[in-house]
Chains A and B, each alone.
Chain A
Amino acid sequence: MGKKALEGTKVLEYASFVSGPYCSKLLADLGAEVIKIERPGVGDKARERGPFPEDLPHPEKSGLFLYLNTSKKGITLDPKSTTGKKMFLELVKWADILIEDKPPKEMEGLGFTYEELKEVNQQLIMTSITPYGETGPYRDYKAYHLNICHVGGLGYLMPPNSPSLEREPLKAGGHSVDCACGVNAALATVSALYSRGVTGEGQSIDVSKQESLMNLVRVYAVAYANDKVNPNRGPIMGTAAAMGGLKKCKDGYIIATLAERPHWARFFKLIGKPEWDEDERFKDTLAIADHYNEIDPYISEWMMSRTRYEIYHQGQELGCPIAPVRSIDEVVNDPQLKGRDFFVEVDHPEAGKTVFPRGPYVFSETPWQGNPAPLLGQHNEEIYCQKLGYTKEDMVRLRESGII
């Protein structure tokens, strides 16, 4: 293994909770030096959210925070004071990349627009992650994860095959959409970094979470404009249903995605009906759609007498795209993930040993790193004294005045 891919890249993070921190975590875990700015005394909002060990809230033990902030350095700073602002600008000068998620108005109020920061650092790349983007009539509107799921067009489609349209559209589980926005912002950020390596120029990047999610459901997003249809979470019928979908089995749910006719041949073999492959009624996927109801009772019964993992392994051995709906504990105990060294143990001074996933990619040349998340203000001295040249006495005064 060689050098880390982003070694030498300097990132300043002025962000909190999920999307911004996940974006810069992706860079930090690939070797970038990330300095995370947190509010003095309080810290990142994720420090207040669980999961906590034994459900006891503790700002250094939030599982969410520990996960989203691996491999970063942490400092505290209040850029609203005159001195704090000066220090913030010194850090901007140091950085190649600034990742921030503040409301556009707040950054304008602080004098931290891209134009102003560019005065300090001509080559700066500034990635701004906001709910609705930096422009447009909704730019100052608020949104949490729930709202993003809905404003991004995903909620309206969820759950697929809803039992009733009288029931509400749904968000996606966990913080998954906020994390997805972070990945989207990270992609644009490294593209700008690549460009800067070639041309020496920085730039600003405006990432709207709404558009990030719309991009994920883009095939649906353009449906009305192009076909005058308005997809919702209604019943999945016809060919779409015949492509598989969710089935109850002995110990939970099975999902099959039989997208092409050869998948059906394997599926028929799996369920002990290889002769159906020759049956005229099932000659292609359209024909299967027409006749699916005739075989559904048999399929349901077959499923109900078997467990998820029986069906999974037998089906996959036959080349059939089929899988169990897994609960969270099964992910952790997955032999495939273990076989791929997906889990790494990170030892944190306060929280102890915790298991994290290595990054969602395996590079042959450039290693991944997973160092523990910073304690609140852990690297103040290192950054302020060694990097910016403040003295130990300065530090005392800055601390007492609430600036750091």
Chain B
Amino acid sequence: MTGRVLEGIRAVEFGQFYVGPYTSEALAYFGAEVIKVESIRRPDPTRWFGSTGGPDPKIIILTDPNKSVGFNELNLNKLSVNLDLTKPKAVELAKKIAEVSDVIVENNRPGVLDRLGLSYEAIREVKPDIIYLSASCRGSTGPERNYAGFAPIFGSLGGLSEITGYADGPPAPPIGGRTDIVCGTANAFSIITALIHREMTGKGQYIDNSDSEVISCLVWDTIMDYNLNGRIQTRRGNKDDIFAPHDCYRCKGEDDWISIAISNDEEWRAFAGAIGNPDWAKEERFQDAYLRKKNEEELDRLISQWTISHTKYEVMDILQKAGVAAVHSFSSKDFFSDPHLKERGAFTEVEHPVIGRLTVMNPPWKLSATPAEIVRHAPLFGEHNNYVFGELLGMSQEEIKALMDEQVIY
């Protein structure tokens, strides 16, 4: 078979920032046609975010909605149309698009789309088997349903921030999209299971997802420790409860670090052998897991003395060849030049009409029969008004022009 899994499936996205956009980007990787609805009154705010990154990262506020590299990374393969949903005519057009679609993805604050007349009930009237997913910080029911939040917020509400960070430092809230994209992944998973159900029964459904619940599910074993033992776990750097060594150690080079985790005596002996069986490694105080954990501080100091005299690639090479789990802490620069990722094709390029050639990350799965693929750059703002309103909805150029003049397609 050629072609992608969701070819023939159409999704409408009323999304912003990360969670909603990644949800439908994943569907678009699998071949769904995703139509992103935005308005000049409020484009996806990610269109305005550039970043300098680096040691002094600043968010740059862009003035051109078509220049954000981050937006490109989160909206690949999609189409973009403009609708000012505060106008009833625009809402009618959005419903017309929904009528010829299979899936709705939205991550507005609960109630926003309802007030605009685009609730699940409203869409179901025009498309009875629609699969409609709402993602929000706390879900669309319950006393805190109206509470707003981005990743650092739902990461903290979900319990992840408290257990991440140095033991002697403040909690480390998640930044940079990692928790958003987990939520988007869970959302896309639930949408595809709903599609499977629709295939079997002909029925669509409403899916109400809460970002902070997705996060709590990722740390549930920690929560169980409280339920079972009343223990309130907190952050412990890179450490493990039982095993040592288990940390990041400095290597030769600038801000280069290697993570080493040893979980049994066999790995310990392999480690000691690989670093040339120094006398300290033979000392009794490091000979079993219990003792290594007990003398962890001293052990870490001794290991650092060895790692600091080697480059991170040397350490990885020496230890992995001996069967020890050691790999360096990858930076963006490391990703760019790493031979393994190159061979696996972790990245690809797209030609963006405004920004130029851009490196993008390939979908994180290799499917042998129905590959997930990047087929185009993120859409320019309103790039597909003509295709969607003209070809898909069958409107004439004059009608489209008139609605643009009325600032409905806007």
Contacts and interface: CB of A to CB of B under 8 A. Distances in A.
A79 interface: no
B201 A219 contact: no
Interface string B383-402: 00000000000000000000
Contacts of B210: 340, 360, 362
Q: Which 3 A-B pairs have the closest CB atoms?
A: A173-B163, A225-B359, A229-B53
Given A64-B224, A199-B1, A316-B144, A321 B150 contact: yes
A253 B152 CA distance: 12
B197 A365 contact: yes
Given A221-B335, A355-B227, A328 B159 contact: yes
B278 interface: no
Chain B interface size, under 10 / 10 to 19 / 20 to 34 / 35 or more: 35 or more
Interface in B34-65: 45, 51-61
Looking at B143, B206, B213, B222, which has the most chain A CB atoms within 10 Å of its CB? B213
A326 B157 contact: yes
B33 to A, nearest CB: 16
Contacts of A398: none
B227 A232 contact: no
Interface in A326-381: 326-329, 331-332, 334-337, 339-340, 342, 354-357, 359-366
Contact of B361 (A175, A222, A246): A222
A211 interface: yes
Contacts of A217: 176-178
B368 A183 contact: no
A191 interface: yes
Contacts of B364: 184, 207-208, 211-212, 214-215
Interface stretch (A47-55, A294-302, A385-393): A47-55
A107 interface: no
Contact of B366 (A3, A205, A240, A253): A205
Interface in B121-172: 138-139, 141-154, 156-166, 169-172
B113 interface: no
A191 B153 contact: no
A384 interface: no
B281 interface: no
Interface string B226-265: 1111011111011011100011111000010101010100
Contact of A147 (B52, B209, B249, B326): B326
B326 to A, nearest CB: 7
Chain A interface size, under 10 / 10 to 19 / 20 to 34 / 35 or more: 35 or more
A316 B261 contact: no
B335 to A, nearest CB: 5
Contacts of B192: 187, 190-191, 194
11 contacts: A63-B225, A150-B259, A150-B330, A156-B330, A159-B165, A195-B370, A244-B152, A246-B170, A321-B148, A340-B141, A366-B194
A257 interface: yes
A64 B229 CA distance: 13
A236 interface: yes
Given A144-B325, A153-B331, A237 B220 contact: no
Contacts of A319: 148
A110 interface: no
B19 interface: no
A50 B138 CA distance: 29
Given A150-B257, A176-B218, A328-B233, A170 B166 contact: yes
Given A6-B193, A159-B165, A328 B320 contact: no
B306 interface: no
B328 A361 contact: no
A201 interface: yes
Contacts of B165: 159, 170, 173
B237 A168 contact: yes
Contacts of A135: 343-344
A135 B345 CA distance: 10
Looking at A5, A221, A364, which has the most chain B CB atoms within 10 Å of its CB? A221
A149 B239 CA distance: 13
B237 A170 contact: yes
Contact of B45 (A158, A202, A260): A260
Contact of A5 (B30, B163, B185, B194): B194
Contacts of B142: 335-337, 339-340
Contacts of B169: 159, 163
Given A154-B178, A219-B74, A225-B347, A173 B367 contact: no
A316 B327 contact: no
B141 A339 contact: yes
A271 interface: no
B325 A160 contact: no
